[in-house]
Amino acid sequence: MAAMFSLATFAVGLWIIVSCKTLAYVIQVMGSSGMKTIFTQDILTVQLGIGVSLLSLFFFFISLMGLYGSIYCSQFLLFMYAALILLIMLLECALFFYFTSNILEKGVEETDGQLAHALRLALRCCDRNDTMTEKNPPWSCCGTNYIKNCTQDNFFEKNCKQSMSDWLHRYETFIYGTIAATHILLSSSSLLRRASSASRSHT
């Protein structure tokens, strides 16, 4: 399953590299209002396509390593697969903690780019500050229905810092638990397979 998902993501990355205009057109035709406004042609750059492709290839080779090691009972590959899965778990938890802590400390800022728009739309929130009184506020503070005419009268009422804090209070333990359980299950099954193959080789 992970290998198939990695290949699908790799195909999307290649699509961005080869013809970002075509993908942008498909999103505009078939995507939701939020996707249309976030994934514009300016965002679908060659650099993004290369990054997505390389990342998907990395996960594909890890999945292939586990599959090959399981089929041929390679103790080295199974051990490497388990170790990499645990390292990825630590990296995912660290990245999630970094981004959420950064948002809780600073709030959602315009310098965050499309991520800021996505968070405002998902949480239906807006961090109001003094700079918004001097210029037009970000369209995501009002939602996709006010892309061209977002004003302070149409702001989302909830503050993003508070909304993010409430969201984390509700789901943080579940998210960390899911990440840990998934990766530990994968690594444990690999180590058990390695142990069983080692016992058979000694008998």
What's residue 173's pLDDT? 92
What's residue 134's pLDDT? 47
Whether this model's pTM surpasses 0.75 = no
Task: Annotate 17-33 with b (16+ C-beta within 10 A) or e (fewer).
Answer: beebeebbeebeeeeee
Question: Which sign, positive or negative, has the C-alpha torsion 28, 31, 33, 34?
Answer: negative
Mean pLDDT (10-residue bins), the chain, 203 residues: 80 85 79 68 82 91 85 83 91 91 78 78 77 64 79 82 88 92 87 69 52
Asked if 139 and 152 count as a contact pair (C-beta separation under 8 A), the reply is no
What's residue 181's pLDDT? 92
What's residue 112's pLDDT? 67
Cα distance between residue 60 and residue 9, in whole Å? 10
**Burial of 154 by CB count in 10 Å (0-12 exposed, 13-18 middle, 19+ buried)?**
middle
Asked if 184 and 83 count as a contact pair (C-beta separation under 8 A), the reply is no
Domain boundaries, the chain: 1-72
**What are the angstrom distances between the C-alpha of 176 and each of 135, 173, 179, 184?**
39, 5, 5, 12
Token pair listed for 63:
């999945």
